[in-house]
Chain A
Amino acid sequence: VQLVETGGGLIQPGGSLRLSCAASGFTVSSTYMSWVRQAPGKGLEWVSVMYSGGNTYYADSVKGRFTISRDTSKNTVYLQMNSLRAEDTAVYYCASSSGWYPSLDFWGQGTLVTVSS
Chain B
Amino acid sequence: ESVLTQSPGTLSLSPGERATLSCRASQSVSRNYLAWYQQKPGQAPRLLIFGASSRATGIPDRFSGSGSGTDFTLTINRLEPEDFAVYYCQRYGSSPWTFGQGTKVEMK
Residues of A within 8 A of B (CB): 34, 36, 43-46, 49, 57-60, 93, 95, 101-105, 107-110
Contact B90 A46 (CB under 8 A): yes
Task: Count A-B pairs with CB separation below 8 Å.
Answer: 62
Interface residues on B, range: 20 to 34
> Could you say which residues of chain A place their CB within 8 Å of the CB of B56?
103, 105
B37 within 8 A of A: yes
- Choose among B93, B98, B102 the residue that contacts A102 (Cβ–Cβ < 8 A): B93
Contact B44 A45 (CB under 8 A): no
Min C-beta distance of A9 to chain B, whole Å: 19
Contact B98 A103 (CB under 8 A): no
A45 to B101, CA, bound (A): 9
Q: Other than the known A44-B99, A49-B95, A60-B96, what 14 A-B pairs have Cβ atoms closer than 8 Å?
A: A36-B45, A58-B95, A95-B45, A102-B92, A103-B33, A103-B51, A104-B37, A104-B90, A105-B47, A105-B56, A107-B44, A108-B44, A109-B44, A110-B44
> Could you say which residues of chain B place their CB within 8 Å of the CB of A109?
44
